[in-house]
Amino acid sequence: MKRFLKFATVGASGIFVNEGLLWFFTEIVGFFYLVSSVIGIEVSIITNFILNELWTFRDRSKGKGGIFGRGVKFNVVSVAGLVINISVLYFCTTFLGIYYLISNLIGICCTFLWNYFVNLGWTWKAEEKEGKTRKIKMVSIVIPTYNEKENIQKLIPMIFQVLRKNRIKGEVIVVDDNSPDKTGKAAEQLKKRFPVKVVHRKGKLGLSSAVIEGFKIAKGDVLGVMDADLSHPVEALPEMVKSLEKYEMTVGSRHVPGGGIERWPLHRRALSKSAILMAKPLTSLKDTTSGYFMIRREVLEGPELNPKGFKICLEIAVKSGAKLKEVPIIFRDRAHGESKLGGNVMWDYIVHLKDLYKFKIKKKLHE
């Protein structure tokens, strides 16, 4: 909040510069008011950058790119703000008949939040700290299930084959939502051969709540989540686990070099792309709809997770601010059973995004 108020103070000084020059060049020199506005904004950009560099973002003023690079970025952001400002000024003055000085104030207010958040996240972006190398002791993989009997009988042996081959100690926690096909019972049978825990729930209570419930009984210092439908390749597990020695979170990603999707129809690809674009401003994560991830246990000690969300990987990435790495995977369509994707799920996703955007804005205001 202190940084926000400092930026606002600098912005207020820029308003005086801007308004003063707008009045001077319009009333005294006789320029057209839009030309005067451009001059006023350009001069205020320079003064604002200097004040923000020396005061508002002083703790970040030694970052990569140097003062020249930050100055260029600040000007790019400000030019976009200039377009917004002039557009609002012209619209309010020409079409609404508002006095041009008042119209200019409205334009400045409209661009203020844009300037703050973009400059905070880009111009003076906080440098990422190098992660400390840490040995992984045990991995707990949570698998939410509903009518996945055939798939779970294949998936669990595959997981432990990969873990043992790579000398990774692990456990699997199946959280079953009272599957009519007796998935939970099939998972219980696998306990005789593998370190498997099974949580039997009374109904279909949702993916995120299943993951959270699984995390509560997990013993590992690394927690992971996989789909039960064989769409997530188990061969990616070793790299995802190994990368956690330096990173806080790893995500199986379809949208980084080496990643991809098999056997998806055009409409489903379009739907996925749309969902990803909707969440893009929230995080640096490229595959924002991924459900395949690993995270250090201690990262989850801070954020309060929403049990009603359907993309818990995205929620953790946004709320924790974890330093993450995306590991390329080839996503394969389910081998058995039917997809759980439907209209209600998409609506839940939109509602979930709304809550995450509110969280993000509040967090930025307090930085």
pLDDT, tens digit, 9 for 90 and up, residues 69-110: 899 999 899 889 888 888 989 999 999 999 998 998 888 888
Q: Do 327 and 227 fall into the same domain?
A: yes
- For position 63, what pLDDT does the model report? 65
Sheet holding 139-145, edge to edge: 196-200, 170-176, 139-145, 222-225, 293-296, 249-253, 324-328
Q: Do 231 and 349 fall into the same domain?
A: yes
What are φ and ψ of residue 332, in 5° steps? Answer: -105, 140
Of residues 131 and 348, more confidently modeled? 348
Total Cβ atoms within 10 A of residue 207: 24
Predicted confidence band at 338 (pLDDT cuts at 50, 70, 90)? low
Please indicate, yes or no, if residue 130 is contained in any of the structural domains: no
Please indicate, yes or no, if residue 86 is contained in any of the structural domains: yes
2-60 pLDDT, tens digit per residue, is 888 899 899 888 888 888 998 999 999 899 888 888 888 778 888 999 999 999 998 88
Q: Do 356 and 242 fall into the same domain?
A: yes
Q: Do 316 and 287 fall into the same domain?
A: yes
Q: CA geometry: angle at 186 spanning 185 and 192, to 5°?
A: 100
Say if CB 234 and CB 158 are below 8 A apart: yes
Q: Do 276 and 325 fall into the same domain?
A: yes
Please indicate, yes or no, if residue 272 is contained in any of the structural domains: yes
Q: How many domains does the chain have?
A: 2
Position 343 pLDDT exceeds 70: no
175-205 pLDDT, tens digit per residue, is 999 999 999 999 999 999 999 999 999 988 8
Share of the chain above pLDDT 70, in %: 93
Share of the chain above pLDDT 90, in %: 51
Q: Do 67 and 101 fall into the same domain?
A: yes
Per-residue burial over 131-158, b = 16 or more CB atoms within 10 Å of its CB, e = otherwise: beeeebeebbbbbbbbbbbbbbeebbee
Q: Do 230 and 322 fall into the same domain?
A: yes
Predicted confidence band at 248 (pLDDT cuts at 50, 70, 90)? very high
Please indicate, yes or no, if residue 129 is contained in any of the structural domains: no
Position 305 pLDDT exceeds 60: yes
Residue that is last in its domain, among 69, 98, 123: 123
Please indicate, yes or no, if residue 45 is contained in any of the structural domains: yes
Average pLDDT taken over every residue of the chain: 88
Q: Do 26 and 102 fall into the same domain?
A: yes
Domain containing 216 equals 139-365
Q: Do 189 and 278 fall into the same domain?
A: yes
Predicted confidence band at 348 (pLDDT cuts at 50, 70, 90)? confident
Predicted confidence band at 334 (pLDDT cuts at 50, 70, 90)? low
Please indicate, yes or no, if residue 235 is contained in any of the structural domains: yes
Q: Do 83 and 212 fall into the same domain?
A: no
What are φ and ψ of residue 34, in 5° steps? Answer: -70, -40
The average pLDDT across 329-337 equals 74
Rounded Cα–Cα distance for residues 113 and 117 (Å):
6
- For position 109, what pLDDT does the model report? 84
Q: Do 172 and 268 fall into the same domain?
A: yes
Q: Do 146 and 111 fall into the same domain?
A: no
Please indicate, yes or no, if residue 259 is contained in any of the structural domains: yes
CATH number of residue 315's parent domain: 3.90.550.10
Please indicate, yes or no, if residue 128 is contained in any of the structural domains: no
